[in-house]
Amino acid sequence: MHVKIHLPGARATDPRRSATFRDVGLAQPLTLHFLLIGDTDTPGDFEMRCVGLELGEAVTMDEAGLATPELTSSTVRRIAARFPHWQELARAHLNFSPEPSHHDAVKRVKPARLDADWFRMVAAEYQRHVDDGEPAPVTTIAAAYNVDVSTASRWVKKARERGLIKDEVST
């Protein structure tokens, strides 16, 4: 999976922060846009609000542009079903993902069929928790998805077997 991040510069006319995903599981690139909204009462308290999404890219009127794959209803359904996961993955890449507590964790729905996209998202979430110093990332994933720790552990194991999680070798 290739991820491209866009952060607004000092003279930007578009204040959105964006994450664009290109993957073999996506016929077209998927871009999620976020606004960083600050709380005036609490300095340093920010919300990363998802304000838009784009599917596809600019098309030119040449052979390359005309070869752009058609957007199908099944592609849109697959993205819509996994939208919360794409949001979380984008927030992780934008480094503005507040750590939810176990009390306010949103119940996430796993797809009926666990495919490559699912394991990439599990791997990204696992890696984000590890990078944040989470002492029990598998337990955190289990709580977020309302599943047993053993189930979340199997997901992480399968993601690792697919090469999506790299184990660090200590020397």
**Which range scores top for mean pLDDT: 70-74, 113-117, 154-158?**
154-158
| 27 DSSP assignment | S
Residue written as token pair 């960083």 = 36
The predicted-structure confidence for 84-108, as pLDDT tens digits, reads as follows: 888 888 888 886 444 433 333 334 5
Q: Would 43 be classed as within a structural domain?
A: yes
Q: How many domains are there within the chain?
A: 2
Determine the structural domain holding residue 145 and report its residue range. 99-171
Residue 101 and residue 143 in contact, taking contact as beta carbons nearer than 8 Å: no
Tell me the CATH number at 170.
1.10.10
Q: Would 78 be classed as within a structural domain?
A: no
The answer to whether the predicted template modeling score (pTM) of the entire model surpasses 0.75 is: no
